[in-house]
Structure 1
Amino acid sequence: MSLDFAGRVAIVTGAGGGLGRQHALALAARGARVLVNDLGGAVDGSGGASTAAQAVVDEIRAAGGEALANAASVTDFDAVLAMVQQAVDAWGRVDILVNNAGILRDKSFAKMDMQDFRLVVDVHLMGAAYCAKAVWPHMQAQNYGRIVMTTSSTGLYGNFGQANYGAAKLAQVGLMQTLAIEGAKHGIHVNALAPTAATRMTEGLMPEEILAQLTPESVVPAMLVLAHESAPTRAILCAGAGGFEAAHITLTQGIHLPVGPDTPEQLAARLGEVTARTDEQVPQSGSAQGTLELAKAKAAHAQRQRG
């Protein structure tokens, strides 16, 4: 099956360089009309210019594609609304949103300034939420949409010196989970991509010989799968250096304990049973936790009645 995007309109944020640029080029090469958004700032979010986005637009047009440049900050909701309207005015619709914009302000938590924490959360989480909110009514009206969040292994599993980044990236997964549920009846699929790629944001974090294998291009296939009309929904795909994996947030079967004065001691003694991963499940909604707990309570009650 060929992943064709002819007739589709895509918005890619943070697309002036690195991974976002490759996303924009790949979507355009497969027929999508692409709005290339990039503030044009440094890795830490400082500065800004429209030249980065325009350079990618020029590349797309030189290859025969259609593209527009936009330099809005994803932290400015009014500017984001105008960005989405720019795409709608030009092409009549928005089918795909790739939330890729991001910055780094790395430091150990002990040394981290809370303003740097807030700024990273504003760009990654609020930026993704603003962009999703802006495209949502258009996608609802056309009963079709594909939204790709950019999460990270740091959000999923942690990484020293990136408490702000990790918190923001896992929050995008939480946003994805609920938007996928709410968007289902409107044909809106929402997924998350966890890339490992050598970009301006990863320079200095890994040895050069490893970075050479982590090309942004090697991540793009996962984005295309998640942005295509055949995309799943509520998937977390990981990609890097030709490897592709899926991450899951699971729930163990756990145990039931009667509530009493010594319940904390019982829980501490049996914590290994609680964390055992045999027969763990991937819940389809947050209610699964309560459903499982109530089922165990009901079974325990029935057992007491029989006893």
Structure 2
Amino acid sequence: MPEHRLDGRVAIVTGAGRGLGRSYALALAELGAAVVVNDLGGDLYGAGRDPSPAQSVVTEIIANGGKALVSGHDVADWNDAREMIAMAVETFGGLHILVNNAGILRDKLFANMSEEEWDAVIRVHLKGHAGPSRHAMEYWRGESKAGKEVSASIVHTSSLAGLVGSFGQANYASAKLAVVGLSRTLALEGKKYGVRSNAVSPSARTRIETSLKPPPEGVFDVFSPDNVSPLICWLALADCPATGQVFQAYGNRIEVIAPSTIEVDLTTHGRWRIEDIDKELSHRLPKLPQLGDFVEGLP
């Protein structure tokens, strides 16, 4: 049995009925955390409801001796998000870890994208991170002001699509980059209350990413969701030092991405002239990263 480094800690994982969320929930529970397994059980496009995927994960956790509870709350609904946080606290006595993972897709060329297709993805990916985080932050602030020691962690799910763009996914990419801004802001605001916030961009096989096929038997599965879970569990530790960071995780590699790095810094005397900008800047523009730049050299 693994060392139970998360004993006594309570976690919520959204979108935890399948894929990455399921892997996170199982891994957190294996390390001793009580887990609220949140999932509407809808399809890839967010339609429908089915409690069975979340219930299946809860059943597996309990069968292995852990503690878990199903949540069918809509994380993009402010009231549902508040009720989910309250349920975790009332059932397990507190909350220490929030993993925002729920997401859907409505892929379409931007010139053809409808307002509904834009709004639906922004709602689930961005508001679905903001709602639970908002009410968790309120809870942790109250605990801190009451004199209790807080060692809380929020993990937001970003994507390479947000960091470098993705053809046909303007809605998804926009939401995922916005998640980075949300995470960094909560890291700043949460510091005084004992709350850390980080974003993770996972490259793994999920319902959303279906092109990453399993390898032949006996070959390391680079895109298994289980490869990402150790990073999530490390970020969940009470004594984890990371906050305000953006991580890329895939296979046996973890990268820390610094989007605030200034690659070109030029000055002139007085105000810039167009001809001087053309002369000095044109040949210094950084090469735009591609998705392949982040997965180069995979085993």
Fold conserved between structures, TM > 0.5: yes
Q: Distance in 2 between matches of 1:71 and 1:22?
A: 18
Q: Does 1:230 align with 2:242?
A: no
Q: Does 1:176 align with 2:183?
A: yes
Letter in 2 for 1:33: A
Cα offset for 1:246?
1.4
In the alignment, is the contact (CA less than 8 A) between 1:41 and 1:49 conserved in 2?
yes
3-state DSSP of counterpart to 1:110: helix
In the alignment, is the contact (CA less than 8 A) between 2:248 and 2:256 conserved in 1?
yes
Q: Which residue of 2 aligns with 1:197?
A: 204
Q: Which residue of 1 aligns with 2:60?
A: 59
Q: Distance in 2 between matches of 1:160 and 1:206?
A: 17
Q: Distance in 1 between matches of 2:28 and 2:94?
A: 16
In the alignment, is the contact (CA less than 8 A) between 1:254 and 1:274 conserved in 2?
no
Higher relative contact order (CA 8 A, sep 6+): 2
Q: Which residue of 1 aligns with 2:291?
A: none
Q: Which residue of 1 aligns with 2:161?
A: 154
Match of 1:218 among 223, 227, 243: 227
Q: Distance in 1 between matches of 2:97 and 2:214?
A: 34
In the alignment, is the contact (CA less than 8 A) between 1:12 and 1:98 conserved in 2?
yes
In the alignment, is the contact (CA less than 8 A) between 1:155 and 1:165 conserved in 2?
yes
Structure 1 gaps of 5+ residues are: 278-307
- The structure-2 alpha-carbon separation of the partners of 1:276 and 1:208, relative to structure 1 and needing over 3 Å to count, comes to closer
3-state DSSP of counterpart to 2:139: helix
Q: Distance in 1 between matches of 2:22 and 2:60?
A: 10
Q: Which residue of 2 aligns with 1:241?
A: 251
Q: Which residue of 2 aligns with 1:130?
A: 131
Q: Which residue of 2 aligns with 1:90?
A: 91
Which piece of structure 1 moves more, 45-54 or 266-275?
266-275
Computing the radius of gyration over CA atoms, which structure comes out larger, 1 or 2? 1
Deviations 1:109-128 (A, max 9, x none): 12222211111011000110
Match of 1:255 among 266, 272, 287: 266
Q: Distance in 2 between matches of 1:98 and 1:68?
A: 15
- Aligned length, in residue pairs: 275
- The structure-2 alpha-carbon separation of the partners of 1:276 and 1:51, relative to structure 1 and needing over 3 Å to count, comes to closer
Deviations 1:136-187 (A, max 9, x none): 0222224331000000011111121111111000100001111111111111
3-state DSSP of counterpart to 2:111: coil
Q: How does 1:27-66 map to 2 (within 5 A)?
A: 27-66=28-67
Question: What is the aligned-residue identity percentage?
Answer: 41
Letter in 2 for 1:122: R
Q: Distance in 2 between matches of 1:56 and 1:105?
A: 26
In the alignment, is the contact (CA less than 8 A) between 2:214 and 2:223 conserved in 1?
no
- The structure-2 alpha-carbon separation of the partners of 1:160 and 1:25, relative to structure 1 and needing over 3 Å to count, comes to same
Letter in 1 for 2:32: G
Q: Which residue of 2 aligns with 1:167?
A: 174
Higher helix proportion (structure 1 or 2): 1
3-state DSSP of counterpart to 2:74: coil
TM-score for both structures, normalised by structure 2: 0.86
Cα offset for 1:263?
2.2
Q: Which residue of 2 aligns with 1:26?
A: 27
Q: Distance in 1 between matches of 2:34 and 2:244?
A: 25
3-state DSSP of counterpart to 1:233: coil
Q: Which residue of 1 aligns with 2:296?
A: none
Q: Which residue of 1 aligns with 2:290?
A: none
Q: Distance in 2 between matches of 1:206 and 1:7?
A: 36
Q: Does 1:6 align with 2:39?
A: no
In the alignment, is the contact (CA less than 8 A) between 2:204 and 2:212 conserved in 1?
no
Q: Does 1:102 align with 2:103?
A: yes
Q: Distance in 1 between matches of 2:29 and 2:165?
A: 34
In the alignment, is the contact (CA less than 8 A) between 1:11 and 1:34 conserved in 2?
yes
Cα offset for 1:100?
0.3
Letter in 2 for 1:116: E
Q: How does 1:264-303 map to 2 (within 5 A)?
A: 264-272=274-282, 275=285
